[in-house]
Amino acid sequence: MAYCTKCGSQLPPAAKFCPVCGSQIASVATKGTEGYKQAMYKKAVQKLQSQGEQLVKEKLTETVKKSISQNLKKEVSFNKNEIENFEKSTINKSKPESTKPVSKGLSFWTWIYLTVNILMVVKYNRSDELMGIAFFSVILLIVVFIRKSKQKPYNWLVKIILGIQLIFLAALIFERSAYPDLSLLFLIALLLIDLRLLFKGNKK
Task: Considering only residues 100 and 159, tell me which one the structure prediction assigns the higher pLDDT.
Answer: 159
Reduce the DSSP state of residue 179 to 3 states and report it.
coil
Domain ranges of the chain: 1-99, 108-200
pLDDT tens for 37-87 read 777 777 787 787 777 777 777 877 878 787 787 777 776 676 677 777 777
Structural contact between residues 161 and 114, judged by C-beta atoms closer than 8 angstroms: no
pTM of the model: 0.46
Reduce the DSSP state of residue 14 to 3 states and report it.
coil
Closest CA to 197 of 119, 117, 113: 113
Residue 97, pLDDT > 50, answer no
Distance CA 142, CA 138 (A): 6
Closest CA to 171 of 154, 199, 197, 190: 190
Which pLDDT value is given to residue 93?
60
Distance CA 124, CA 115 (A): 14
